Amino acid sequence: MFKKYSKTLEFYLHNEIIPYLINAWNDNKRKYHNYNHLKDVIKYIERNTKNLDINVIEFEILILAAFFHDAYYNTKSNKIHEDESIKLFLSSYKSNDYAVRNKVIDLINCTKFRKRPLLKLERLFWDADNNGFYKSFNTLIKNENNIRLEYLHVPKNIYKEKRIEFLKTNLGLFNSIVDNNILKLINYVNKY
């Protein structure tokens, strides 16, 4: 994905950030929020912009947001990942196009909330980041196990409580099949 979108990245960003992004997304401490997640988000964007009225600039905004939405991801920090990722984006943004800059920030921000946005680009990006919930139950289990690996430093009882709390906030956001899988996933996490 870095090679495929190198022109977009190089146009909007200082060159020094690109190796940082590559290292961040390929960090071996990341088991779920890694390069595979980035690829999944971008592929969702590529598939779903074909049916929407998305222009070239809007597409570039979506791609920039994808590369930065989890650029900062440190499970041992109390900092909000999205806020730190936005700071990273702002420090590396070199274009004078403030509309693009501000929209990328809006897209990253919308992923913090468990509510599907109404605006077209925000909704598409939120859906891209959360499209893992539509995967098979076996994939949800695999993803859950990878997320748990990212939080191994958190005691099991605290992780279980917080994770179940998070999963419950997703009920009703997708469809009945996803809700059923989330309920089964809650059951799975509850057995930790």
For residue 148, give both structure tokens. Answer: 């748990």
pLDDT at 124: 97
Span 39-73, pLDDT tens digits: 999 999 999 998 888 999 999 999 999 999 999 99
Mean pLDDT of 88-99: 98
Span 134-173, pLDDT tens digits: 999 999 999 999 999 999 999 999 999 999 999 999 999 9
Mean pLDDT of 76-96: 97
Residues 6 or more apart whose CB falls under 8 angstroms from that of 5 comprise 42, 63, 67
Place of tokens 């990253």: 108
Q: Which of 13-17, 20-24, 52-56, 175-179 has the lowest mean pLDDT?
A: 52-56
For residue 7, pLDDT over 90 is answered with yes
pLDDT at 95: 96
For residue 7, give both structure tokens. Answer: 């022109």
pLDDT at 51: 82
What is the phi-psi region of residue 54: left when phi exceeds 0, alpha when psi lies from -120 to 50, beta otherwise? beta
For residue 192, pLDDT over 90 is answered with no
pLDDT at 52: 86
pLDDT at 161: 97
Span 18-38, pLDDT tens digits: 999 999 999 999 999 999 999
Place of tokens 């289990």: 141
Mean pLDDT taken over the chain: 97
- The DSSP code sequence of 71-110 is SS--TT--S-HHHHHHHHHHHHB--S-HHHHHHHHHHHHH
Confidence of residue 128 (pLDDT cuts 50, 70, 90): very high
Helices (H), the chain: 6-12, 17-25, 35-48, 56-68, 81-92, 98-110, 120-129, 137-150, 156-168, 176-190
